Structure 1
């Protein structure tokens, strides 16, 4: 607790520190003589100039010149979505990427789920202007959710490496690809922007931004932004509310160098959608929801008296609760010095800090209160305090671009589980659980743990331009992550056993990557990439079922497995072809992934009392193919299509306390074998229209593949019109969006409580939102 408070103070003092977190649509970043990522610089040099037709809001920009498969989402394409939509949700348009969420904005973090080529988000890497954002898991221990890290209106672009991220990406989890988010600098011109969104479920979102413009001849400038979101759940009662502030300062320096300072503050309160099963979907229907704010109904359900529809389910006690909520407050800051020492030598250093406080609640009928009430409120309180730095030098000499750097981070993650008393019926209610931590009502502490970690990563690489059309990138990184916990309090009468405590180290001195790009004809190029990657051991509290963390088990299980436990590793192989011209951009790629030392979180029975263990259980082999094409047949028209196929199967069977689990050759759950995405955008004068659609094939729910969720096709529509200028207002825009155009009933998030080996009847998922309507008025000044 003390460390968290200290870190909050430090982060506040850094106020404004750090990386651009999505700024208004102006790309005013001062060009540096050399940037510290030679691979991206080389790709930029090889890229062609934009054609006039490229002003159309194409979904993806293919990574021309890159030695890996990379794609970019531009700000123009992000503007097709409703303001406030998560940047990760926009990535769902890309081949091989699957994003799921129970809400139309993609901001409900418990349900937020992204996969790339079969890897889940806890096995991917995420950064914001190079600052690490961890693995994007709910109750994140080493990062921050994208929507809380930056206001989405301030995003400039998002770059995605579907196969393997660059070795300089600040992540200890990117077995698969990496998502690198880039913000825009403050504008050189004084002004700002405002927008107001209205829509279904009483959605009301306000965004405002002020830019100072250049304050002096050197170009000193800053921006301040504020966003506020209020909206009800699309089923049941409860809401999603957030307030967020971004601030950024840019100080240009000599030789096109710069000093940039960034600060983000966010406050979020969210109510949960109820988890579903196949039985509940067929008996209670897709609109099954929790009882909130009806305390009487929840109280009576805890006594065994259920509403008629819920009583039809196979487990009415588990089918609905009073409420589940999350409350988070975050501070993120950073300062970056990008110094061109000479025309051929660049030194870039970033110092950053992050603090998170908050709590989550779940009203449980499985533990009574001391006063005799048949239910209580389980409260989980995660806190994060972390800080670190990255420093890299880039030297261009002859045909070589050499790059070497280090990244260090120290992190504290504290989490506890408590039970607070519920009132007797007629003597009050639980009210709104997001209104404050119920400290005065706590009657039991199940456990309280404190984690600490030290992360050190060194990387070195060289991009060698063999000829004007052939270049090779080769390098490696070394990684050491030492993490451990201490149990500050625990109650074995609640937990049933002593909980895990101890330290683990994940390290590898040589994780190589080699890749190449050959432009064998004008507009035509081939690329290939081979990389070896490692993921550090994820951290989490006892029996939280968020990820396959060794610390989620008992002390006995931890001690038994820690000596032989290995971090997850993989080899990724990919190769492909790109074509780029004024009218066509195309990409085709093949890949293979050999995933080893897979950590298995074994869970069975209901989500409220799972049996868990974590162990290395073998590997996964994935073979896949992806293809994308963007056509621009006439000015103003863009037609995008992408296809992806992935065959991911387990290499070995698994032995558990229940016997042999025959999963060898079975498909990996939660990720579809086939996906198709399409987007048509047309601009006629000041009117812009677009329609996008995506087909997701069936997804397995169990490791033995004896239960699945069906595939679905989802469509969205959007229109935007620019009414021109009016007095001080520049570009008054009105936009209208329809999400889930055909009002499809579909299953979105799967595996939020972990997958079972077989169909136990408790295989959970969340429903996707029905058709939603949103309108926005925006302008700049």
Structure 2
């Protein structure tokens, strides 16, 4: 639900007056609570072993075929600079995923590792086994977008970079204005691999938000052989998922080929009424060209309908319990609650009016396409260009008891209609000369983000029901328009880098990028009677002509290497006017506040320093790294008061300093056995106190909320013949909920189990496989997503979070033909 509770974060100017450290204050405010989330399924085992066990030896031809490459032929794009090339692979590469040879900390998740999770699991959730990475979701799949929360070395997902086949996916906020959620951009079964840079993304990553690392997803290429795959998953909460892919195989001597894939998911929420439904189509076309060049076309269509899980507070957790849910489909209960007549359980809470609603939902349709020409002009000169376009439309609903209907019903349905239309291109030349590989290119994008908020009438009790809100936009019932806004953004980025192989064992990469992001908005409708204050209109530009990065790799002994990376990064201003995201956006300010600060407002920047050591042999893969981050002009969304009448403001909280360490080791003592462990520690604190209209908030030296200081991840995977099994676990220390650290959620340890057996050829089928997964093996009750509605300075009693799913079971049968 694009407009869920967080969306209800209406702003009241005055809760935090603008001071020299308040770059933008609050904006719209409605006497209504937050919004509720979007749908979720209940399924999916959390990612399994980060180190797959050693697979049986494969011939070179088999390796290429598995990757969708023509046997015996090199792959296009081989001129990509060192340290920026994809590290994903299949086969034996899965035994060493720590990015050996890279000049920065790179970790790759292979397709084989992703297949250890339940089909449909978000690729981002699979990454949660990596050191320094925290991924949270209220559902086992990680597909419930409102609850999707990712941190890497303390950076939230809106401060990381995401791409799919070089197509920018934006900053992955729930109410995305410049991209698309990973789960809607590609079917998880069609992911070929994921490359993760924990420290700083490569200079050529198409992102304007990656203060921290970058996540680059690669789609699977079509197979050279005609055939296909079908898979059926069954599981807890009536989960059913169907997947089918048809491979054309080579259509001619040049290797022209394509695939078309379809996935359909249906599953009920693990608590309360409602469901998660999605349909998705992927298609990819590959045309090999002369000189091992290629032309590739990728297409994605996605449609989702999701119901929300209700946000929780500590009071509601202790009085009602973890299974607190919305009333859907019981319209009578929601109607009575809007009149102050509550179920007995809710009367124990400190706020029964806000503890549950009828329903919150999301309905989205997306189209995404990209065309990539990877042309080797000569043996030493490569030209790569990607054209892309994306369209998103839909609506989200929340049944609010804070806005009565004109017919006398004590509640109404609030609707938001977000839309994204964007397109752009990237083009770059890579020239290899002597010991240098020089790469330079540009990225341009033009995007529009539109959104409106409306209220539709609810029926009187006994005269009908709101029914299922995902079945269509109730245009005929709309009685009020709260606001409408439109943003437009032009992005231009230039990059240049040189990878210099000083000696056979020493590689240095140095370069910079220049970034200009110009954004502006118009607000054709603002209903002051509903919204309170009026939000700002105007343009802002985030620009920096020189954002440098230097990195190096030294292989000082066989199997041993050292690396370091230093980078300067900038994040453009996020777009939002009416508090529909938990983002620090200047446009939530009043017009006068916006005008007063626009010339002095600075985008967030940082310096990232990292260094580390890698050791790689067939028996052991090990990694140890240290890092420091100096964050300047950190903009934070500050939330005060209840969700019913929130007061939010965007503040420059000054600097943040992070010091951290990570260590990972994978042991393969015997053939088929893999034992993986990783440890990470991060100490991320604010550099100064924050001045507000209410006085000084003592934030200096306090931990940054939502990210644990300590994490442990481990897994054991064993393969014997055609049978595979694994157990993985993760421990998170406590997480702070407030900026002054006076409230936190406890740490927890979570375990998952998976097993798979390959039956091989069965009749006309080339291969049949059965798999079984258990998510949350010990049925742990734990808090997953924290402060999805924003953090407050102190414990207000309205510090929200979402519960993690209980134990879930899933089984899958798949066959290839």
Query: So what's the TM-score if we normalise by structure 2?
Result: 0.91
How far apart, CA to CA, are the structure 1 residues paired with 2:682 and 2:651?
26
Of the structure 1 ranges 684-693 and 29-38, higher mean CA displacement relative to structure 2 is found in 29-38
Q: Is residue 557–residue 613 contact of structure 1 (8 Å, CA) maintained in 2?
A: no
How far apart, CA to CA, are the structure 1 residues paired with 2:655 and 2:235?
46
How far apart, CA to CA, are the structure 2 residues paired with 1:558 and 1:41?
39
User: SS in structure 2 opposite 1:530?
Assistant: strand
The alpha-carbon deviation at position 39 of structure 1 amounts to 2.3
**Equivalence for 2:686:** 650
Of 472, 492, 496, which residue of structure 2 is paired with 1:436?
A: 472
**Equivalence for 1:575:** 611
Of 722, 727, 730, which residue of structure 1 is paired with 2:758?
A: 722
**Equivalence for 2:565:** 529
Q: Is residue 79–residue 432 contact of structure 2 (8 Å, CA) maintained in 1?
A: no
User: SS in structure 1 opposite 2:158?
Assistant: helix
Of the structure 1 ranges 430-439 and 734-743, higher mean CA displacement relative to structure 2 is found in 430-439
**Equivalence for 1:305:** 341
How far apart, CA to CA, are the structure 2 residues paired with 1:661 and 1:419?
37
User: SS in structure 1 opposite 2:337?
Assistant: helix
Of 96, 104, 109, which residue of structure 2 is paired with 1:73?
A: 109
User: SS in structure 1 opposite 2:739?
Assistant: coil
Of 54, 59, 69, which residue of structure 2 is paired with 1:28?
A: 69
**Equivalence for 1:594:** 630
**Equivalence for 2:509:** 473
The alpha-carbon deviation at position 393 of structure 1 amounts to 0.1
**Equivalence for 1:513:** 549
The alpha-carbon deviation at position 561 of structure 1 amounts to 2.3
Q: Is residue 169–residue 181 contact of structure 2 (8 Å, CA) maintained in 1?
A: yes
How far apart, CA to CA, are the structure 2 residues paired with 1:185 and 1:402?
27
How far apart, CA to CA, are the structure 1 residues paired with 2:413 and 2:191?
38
**Equivalence for 1:210:** 246
Change (3 A) 1:414 1:78: same
**Equivalence for 1:402:** 438
**Equivalence for 2:227:** 191
Deviations 1:77-123 (A, max 9, x none): 11110000000000000000000000000000000010000000000
How far apart, CA to CA, are the structure 2 residues paired with 1:622 and 1:36?
35
Of 264, 271, 274, which residue of structure 2 is paired with 1:228?
A: 264
The alpha-carbon deviation at position 405 of structure 1 amounts to 0.3
Does residue 166 of the first structure (1) align with residue 202 of the second (2)?
yes
How far apart, CA to CA, are the structure 1 residues paired with 2:524 and 2:82?
46
How far apart, CA to CA, are the structure 1 residues paired with 2:438 and 2:564?
20
The alpha-carbon deviation at position 729 of structure 1 amounts to 1.1
Deviations 1:345-368 (A, max 9, x none): 000000000000011111111111
Deviations 1:603-633 (A, max 9, x none): 1112232112213220100000000000000
Does residue 559 of the first structure (1) align with residue 595 of the second (2)?
yes
Of 127, 130, 138, which residue of structure 1 is paired with 2:174?
A: 138
**Equivalence for 2:80:** 37
Change (3 A) 1:184 1:43: closer
The alpha-carbon deviation at position 74 of structure 1 amounts to 0.6
**Equivalence for 2:148:** 112
How far apart, CA to CA, are the structure 2 residues paired with 1:637 and 1:323?
47
Does residue 278 of the first structure (1) align with residue 317 of the second (2)?
no
List gaps (5 residues or longer) in structure 1.
1-22
Does residue 771 of the first structure (1) align with residue 812 of the second (2)?
no
Q: Is residue 513–residue 545 contact of structure 2 (8 Å, CA) maintained in 1?
A: yes
| Number of equivalenced pairs | 752
How far apart, CA to CA, are the structure 1 residues paired with 2:643 and 2:692?
18
Does residue 61 of the first structure (1) align with residue 97 of the second (2)?
yes
Of 550, 557, 580, which residue of structure 1 is paired with 2:586?
A: 550
**Equivalence for 2:518:** 482
Change (3 A) 1:36 1:455: farther
Change (3 A) 1:27 1:41: farther
Q: Is residue 175–residue 581 contact of structure 2 (8 Å, CA) maintained in 1?
A: no
**Equivalence for 2:6:** none
Q: Is residue 535–residue 577 contact of structure 2 (8 Å, CA) maintained in 1?
A: no
Q: Is residue 35–residue 394 contact of structure 1 (8 Å, CA) maintained in 2?
A: no
Q: Is residue 124–residue 135 contact of structure 1 (8 Å, CA) maintained in 2?
A: yes
Deviations 1:387-444 (A, max 9, x none): 0000000000000000000000000000111111111111111110101111111111
How far apart, CA to CA, are the structure 2 residues paired with 1:146 and 1:758?
33
How far apart, CA to CA, are the structure 1 residues paired with 2:77 and 2:445?
26
Change (3 A) 1:308 1:43: closer
How far apart, CA to CA, are the structure 2 residues paired with 1:40 and 1:537?
29
How far apart, CA to CA, are the structure 2 residues paired with 1:434 and 1:559?
40
Does residue 453 of the first structure (1) align with residue 468 of the second (2)?
no
How far apart, CA to CA, are the structure 2 residues paired with 1:33 and 1:543?
44
Of the structure 1 ranges 493-502 and 103-112, higher mean CA displacement relative to structure 2 is found in 493-502
The alpha-carbon deviation at position 559 of structure 1 amounts to 2.4
**Equivalence for 2:4:** none
User: SS in structure 2 opposite 1:39?
Assistant: coil
Q: Is residue 561–residue 615 contact of structure 1 (8 Å, CA) maintained in 2?
A: no
**Equivalence for 1:670:** 706
How far apart, CA to CA, are the structure 2 residues paired with 1:246 and 1:43?
22
By relative contact order (CA 8 Å, sep 6+), the higher-ranking structure is 2
**Equivalence for 1:5:** none
RMSD: 1.6
User: SS in structure 2 opposite 1:671?
Assistant: coil
Equivalent positions of 1:338-353 (< 5 A) are 338-353=374-389
Change (3 A) 1:668 1:661: same
Q: Is residue 463–residue 471 contact of structure 1 (8 Å, CA) maintained in 2?
A: yes
